[in-house]
Structure 1
Amino acid sequence: MADSTKRVVMSAVSAALAVLPLGVVATPASAAPPRPLARNWASWLGSTSTESATTLRQVRTVIGADTTATAALTGRGVGVALIDTGVAPVPGLPAGRIVNGPDLSMESQAPQLRYLDTFGHGTHMAGIIVGNDAATGTVGLAPDVKLTSIKVGTATGTVDVSQVIAAVDWVVAHRNDDTANPIKVINLSYGSGGTPNTWNDSLGFAVEKAWQAGIVVVAAAGNDGNGAGVLANPASDEWIITVGATATKGTATTYDDELTTFTNLPKAGKQINVLAPGTSILSLRDNGSSVDLANPSARVGDTLFRGSGTSQAAAVTSAAVALLLQAKPWATPDQIKEWLIRSATYLPYGTAAALGLKEINVNAALARSGSAVQAQSWNRSSGAGTLDNARGDSRVMFDNVPLSGQRSVWGPLATSGWAAKSAAGAAWAGGVWMGYRLAGDGWTGTSWASRTWSPAVWSNSAPWTGASTTWADPSWSGRSWSGRSWSAGAWSGRSWSSDDWSSASWS
């Protein structure tokens, strides 16, 4: 699809369709979009799904996390950072297990939307990891982790690579704030369309610094299909764990599992490290969110929702990593990665069998944990590459003006200078990132979660347009969280826009 055909200017109709995370929404058969959208436009399965729902109990069996050695593992003592679209206080998400880090999304400037998941993606990921819905018996794969949500995406999924970089920097800086539950895992069910040089990619630099700081980074491969030829960025980085999705056929056995047709496969360079269940995963529903409104047939009862994508597979893998780290708290990211890869389960059919791609097995990884592991020795990124190379064709727009060049969402950003500060652990100072006030200076905010980082007003000039104005958008006043769901108004941004994330997106 040519770039000129992908540019979308937001309107009330297309607002909820323009920028998509990597479990992206699927268009119901009865409501076709007004134009061709992303190639991965089928990752949230609604009325078009022919596969039975896969429960989290089944997933736990598929990944070997319910054996004698693993059944008692819950992720206790491990912190997981979810860089996503926020988390809503839906039934089944225990407030005591959720922490809200800074809201770095455009919606952070609307108090009634701050920290909350207006898209529906982050809540689904959180349910897979830490959910505990007593009414339905839906329990996350690592229900005792402390989940830190760092919101970067809006109700349309809109997010720039600079926001993700700032979020990763923040996690590294604050990984030990909770000494009882240090952050040891980052879940990135996200990817940009960039295909940058690995030796200077800015997003790659950010995740590599997290890895070197002792944090296991798990990234979704992307949902553009087996013929994509490339992995989403940062899944393309050699250091981290890259995850593709399997179709489980609604069973708890691995014998019939196959690689999904929507998973990105690269032609060269970094390959997928492991596979995990990623089709029709039954997790928590964010009532009234964008994906919920667009896909009513994906709802299961009042509290559950079926979603598919390499996003879901990444969340499953992040939970599995947390279980291993509970059992082996001394383990390094390199050890966790090798144990997962070398102990994974062979799949006998289809593309996975032909390529030797295997599905994670926590029990086998735990059994392998006594073996020696050779430290990774890949070349490291300098971080000095351009932001546009990291973005690729994933561009945020404001009033039809695309964000481009060496500019973050908040203003100019020289990546060489940022990389030096990031390497020194100095990119953040309180709530100021690279000189831009993005949040308050500590854990003094209030929300439904057990702990919350304080907010701040973005006082910069209008984003990348040069006009002198504030970040306020009248569309933000149309929605609010009411008890157990979003109510009033419609998700129709006045001017926020983006390409359709055709080469990669939220999965």
Structure 2
Amino acid sequence: MKTAKRLRVVVAGAVAVPVVLAGSGVATADVASAGTAASATTLAQVRSSIGADTGAAATLTGKGVGVALIDTGVASVPGLPAAQIVNGPDLSFESQAANLRYLDSYGHGTHMAGIIVGNDTASGSKGIAPDVKLTSVKIGTATGAVDVSQMIAAIDWVIQHRFDDPAAPIRVLNLSYGSGGATQSWTDPLQFAVQKAWKAGIVVVAAAGNNGNAAGALTNPAMDDSILSVGATATNGTATTADDTLATFTNLAIGTAGQVDLLAPGTSIASLRDPGSNVDNLYPDARVGTTLFKGSGTSQATAVVSAAAALLLQAKPAATPDQIKDWLVKGGSALPLGTAKTLGLSALNVNGALARTGTTPAPYTGSLSTGSGSLQGSRGTASLTLDGVRLTGERTIWGSFQTSLWAKSTTPSWSGGLWLGYRLAGDDWTGTSWASKTWAAGTWTAAPWAGSATTGWSDPAWSGRTWSGRTWSAGTWSGRTWSSDGWSGGTWS
């Protein structure tokens, strides 16, 4: 008889997460200082705030552009058109339970997808780039539990499969995840992974994190100067940026190195609700009508910028990532108030970016990572714990990992469903799900870091929940063996 494995995340004896969702409180109840529920910022208001509903920008929808979303999966909810959703491999622990595979049991990925490509006829809510082809690569569970090695494997997969859909190749990578690790930037493996994506022609958009303006550093990989890092603004209920302020939860770095590149709306954003998901159950007051949910975080701001990047790529399909970043940052609107003004930070302005598309930016000349550094350094102080054994050191959740060999290799890291020789998924686009196209599933054959090969990865904590229609039939996630329902790196807003 198999013993149920208990997966948890710990740091210094307390519950935490090894890779913190940058929008830690994303799909949660937003509470104003007076103690009353903050009013929602609709996506129509977001579109107006970033100038995407006027001028040349108003004609753009993201058609012909693919955006990859590495997150907690995407649920089949009203407002997400199946024809525009692609399920890449599920690399999360829940991939080993057929009834959870690809689906968003947490609620975060669905919220991000709604901002980018949603089209909810019930509420009239429409994403910033509604004609994008969105590829979901699931890495997080119902509590967000995930290791940095899963994040790296997912980035590798996106790079290798970016041209699988010639009609909408993946040109943008949305990372609303961030690691608490902060190794040397010139050797960090996670930064090496995103730099590989950037060099492959993919605009990498990463969330700054939600630890507050006094954090002193952005989350990893947003701290990497070579990619596009995003912080959040509070729109204060208006369509103009004249009264916008830097959201107090946004991470800021000390000095200019590794600082936020661009700001976008990220406070009380109403996007698609994932009924019965973890945060939907925890924060019912955040529901807006029956199909929407409001939340705050640099995650939301990142999704807005990823969608804006897709709009620019539709207009200028030959543009490089360096050009897209330069146009977005330098075409932004300067904010006249507070910390944003002091630091010279700009807010996203799509028409401003389009107006700069005739310019040629100077190439990035800063230092790049060799990728040969410590995986544990990228992981940081928090780590997954399975049956009381922590995942630490130079190993993935599936086995050992030599960063120097991975970084130097000229051979693709993925072969079918094998990543570095480990079986993580099936071998091709032959899976089935609600989405238009799905990568096949695979049974993990490597032994867990705690336990033996005979116990494998079968776990009642993953297989005991079922998806019934559009609602989690169990109703709540708090009664199983998951030991965390919050995030150490941010505050529920």
Specify the TM-score bucket, using the shorter chain as the normaliser.
Answer: over 0.9
Provide Cα deviations, 1:229-284, integer angstroms capped at 9, x if missing partner. 11100001111000000011122111111001100011143110000000000100
**Per-residue deviation at 1:8?**
2.5
Match of 1:272 in 2: 260
| Equivalent residues in 2 for 1:343-358, closer than 5 Å | 343-358=331-346
Matched, 1:337 2:322: no
Match of 1:293 among 274, 281, 285: 281
| Equivalent residues in 2 for 1:6-405, closer than 5 Å | 7-8=14-15, 21-25=21-25, 45=30, 50-268=37-255, 269-405=257-393
**Per-residue deviation at 1:496?**
5.5
Indicate how the Cα distance of structure 1 residues 500 and 137 shifts in structure 2: closer, same or farther if over 3 A, else same: closer
One-letter amino acid matched to 2:457: W
One-letter amino acid matched to 1:485: T
Tell which deviates more after alignment, 284-293 or 456-465: 456-465
Tell which deviates more after alignment, 450-459 or 393-402: 393-402
One-letter amino acid matched to 1:21: L
Match of 2:412 in 1: 426
Structure 2: unaligned runs, 5 residues or longer:
1-9
One-letter amino acid matched to 1:186: L
**Per-residue deviation at 1:58?**
0.6
SS state at 1:364 partner: helix
Match of 2:428 in 1: 442
Matched, 1:479 2:465: yes
**Per-residue deviation at 1:393?**
2.1
Tell which deviates more after alignment, 17-26 or 335-344: 17-26
One-letter amino acid matched to 2:99: Q
Cα distance in 2 for partners of 1:241, 1:228 equals 19
The answer to whether the Cα contact below 8 Å between 1:79 and 1:184 also exists between their aligned partners in 2 is: yes
The answer to whether the Cα contact below 8 Å between 2:461 and 2:481 also exists between their aligned partners in 1 is: no
Cα distance in 2 for partners of 1:44, 1:237 equals 31
**Per-residue deviation at 1:363?**
0.2
Match of 1:470 in 2: 456
Indicate how the Cα distance of structure 1 residues 98 and 4 shifts in structure 2: closer, same or farther if over 3 A, else same: closer
Match of 1:29 in 2: none
The answer to whether the Cα contact below 8 Å between 2:18 and 2:381 also exists between their aligned partners in 1 is: no
| TM-score for the superposition, normalised by structure 2 | 0.93
Indicate how the Cα distance of structure 1 residues 315 and 155 shifts in structure 2: closer, same or farther if over 3 A, else same: same
The answer to whether the Cα contact below 8 Å between 2:11 and 2:383 also exists between their aligned partners in 1 is: no
The answer to whether the Cα contact below 8 Å between 2:29 and 2:284 also exists between their aligned partners in 1 is: no
**Per-residue deviation at 1:24?**
2.0
SS state at 1:69 partner: helix
Structure 1: unaligned runs, 5 residues or longer:
10-16, 27-41
Indicate how the Cα distance of structure 1 residues 506 and 332 shifts in structure 2: closer, same or farther if over 3 A, else same: farther
**Per-residue deviation at 1:490?**
3.8
Cα distance in 2 for partners of 1:190, 1:122 equals 10
Indicate how the Cα distance of structure 1 residues 441 and 49 shifts in structure 2: closer, same or farther if over 3 A, else same: farther
**Per-residue deviation at 1:475?**
1.9
Indicate how the Cα distance of structure 1 residues 191 and 345 shifts in structure 2: closer, same or farther if over 3 A, else same: same
Indicate how the Cα distance of structure 1 residues 202 and 270 shifts in structure 2: closer, same or farther if over 3 A, else same: same
**Per-residue deviation at 1:330?**
0.5
**Per-residue deviation at 1:394?**
3.0
Identity percentage over the alignment? 63
SS state at 1:282 partner: strand
Provide Cα deviations, 1:275-297, integer angstroms capped at 9, x if missing partner. 00000001000000001001000
